[in-house]
Amino acid sequence: MKKLIFSFLMLALMAGGIFLLPSCKQNQAGKAPYKALIVTGQNNHEWKASTPILKQILENSGLFAVEVAQSPEGGKDMSNFKPVFTKYNLVVLDYNGDAWPAETQKNFESYVAGGGGVVVYHAADNAFREWKEYNKIIGLGGWGDRNESDGPYVRWRDGQIVRDTIAGRGGSHGRQHPFRVTTREPEHPIMKGLPANWLHSMDELYSELRGPAENLTVLATAWSDSAKGGTHQHEPILMTVGYGKGRIFHTVIGHAMGDSTQPAMECVGFIVTLQRGAEWAATGNVTQAVPYDFPQFNTESKWSLFRPLEFEEILANLKNYQPGDTRYNLQDLTNYIRNNNDGGEKYAKLETALLRYLQGTGTAASKNFILKELSIHGTDKALPVLKKLEKDEETKEMARFASERITLQYSN
């Protein structure tokens, strides 16, 4: 089912950005305050999969109206590839292919130097070894025969970031696996409020990147495990770079697969750091809240639609729940409530929807789960519905528990 939805989504997006999720407020792109451009069209990676997902993730932040600049295919005439970068607050690089025309290169350099925002995504740091200013913009790069002449390795060692000029190749990764990302700049606006450590879902762990690394700040690293074919080093995962007045956010994660599962891009950690990094690159600030279901130290967390589910979708998924079934759908519900319990209007709406569900056709087990949630969050408004559920043999105990808990006084 998940795969079906995904394929449909991909088709729709590829067909030209149809908004097939009308209930998703973030897709009202017209209201977004900033404009972003994704540069794509050639890559040794699956750009046809990654670009539509990046577009959706940026639009779902509610901050960006996103356009795509698609280059000619590899080997074709590039001379007319001239995106007008200055029309945008943010340029997202999902490109690793033929050289851009000199004019385009110059335009990009002056866009960034003049204060433009850039997101360097995954294999974009494989591109353009020979283009000096590009390498200053990405800070670190890999492959393309990069070596010590391109700049130092940048690693976390003994409690600090070190630049290591030792000879060696630039760019490698071991086998794909889930790995832990560790914050190194907890006070940076992009990182503030994120867990100190979180488990990223299966991905390539880029290692041995090297480059000019000027004005480069490592926000987060990951241990590149030699047992997985890694380097036995803490490698940079999230970075910022300064270039002229421009702000660059560089994320090495988010490898796109050729098939319909995208663990690295579904990871809430990838999505949220991308959204926060994009906002910071475009504006210098981050205004987005960290969602409750951000991955934790030892726990992956994914959004299969690259966004949190809508409340009605969560309730629909709950309908057939039986004890012993997977609890993912239950957790979507608790996370949603915890993300949206403002103690006011927002919660009142939520509670109304929960009470409606309790009077509908869902399984008793799903209702009992909601009754437990109401015992924690519920208000007096729930009591008349709970009274009714106390008459039903299958829900009476949890309904009783919830209404007693809602009316319980601690001070007695």
Interface with another protein (CB under 8 A): 195, 197, 292, 296-299, 323-328, 331, 334, 337-339, 341, 343, 376-377, 397-398, 400-401, 404-406, 408-412
Give 16 or 324: the residue with its C-beta nearer to another protein: 324
Alpha helical stretches, state H, 301-344: 311-318, 328-340
CB of 369 to another protein, least distance (A): 9
CA angle 273, 276, 282 (to 5 degrees): 135
Nearer to another protein, 183 or 207 (CB): 183
Cβ nearer to another protein, comparing 53 with 355: 355
Nearest approach, Cβ of residue 405 and another protein (Å): 5
AA letter at 180: R
Query: Under DSSP, is residue 350 helix (H, G, I), strand (E, B) or coil?
Result: helix
d(CA 239, CA 294): 19
Are the beta carbons of 278 and 90 closer than 8 angstroms?
Answer: yes
Q: How far is the CB of 404 from another protein (least distance, A)?
A: 4
CB 113 within 8 A of CB 244: yes
| Residue with smaller CB distance to another protein, 109 or 351 | 351
Instruction: Find the shortest distance in angstroms from Cβ 375 to another protein.
Output: 8
Return the beta strands (E) in 100-157 as ranges: 117-121, 153-157
Nearer to another protein, 27 or 368 (CB): 368
Radius of gyration of the chain measured on its C-alpha atoms:
24
Closest distance between another protein and the C-beta of residue 327, in Å? 6
Separation in Å, CA 308 to CA 91, 240, 259:
25, 26, 22
Instruction: With CA atoms as reference, report the closest residue to 407 among 382, 372, 389.
Output: 382
Q: Based on CB atoms, which residue is closest to another protein, 204 or 332?
A: 332
Q: Nearest approach, Cβ of 156 to another protein (angstroms)?
A: 15
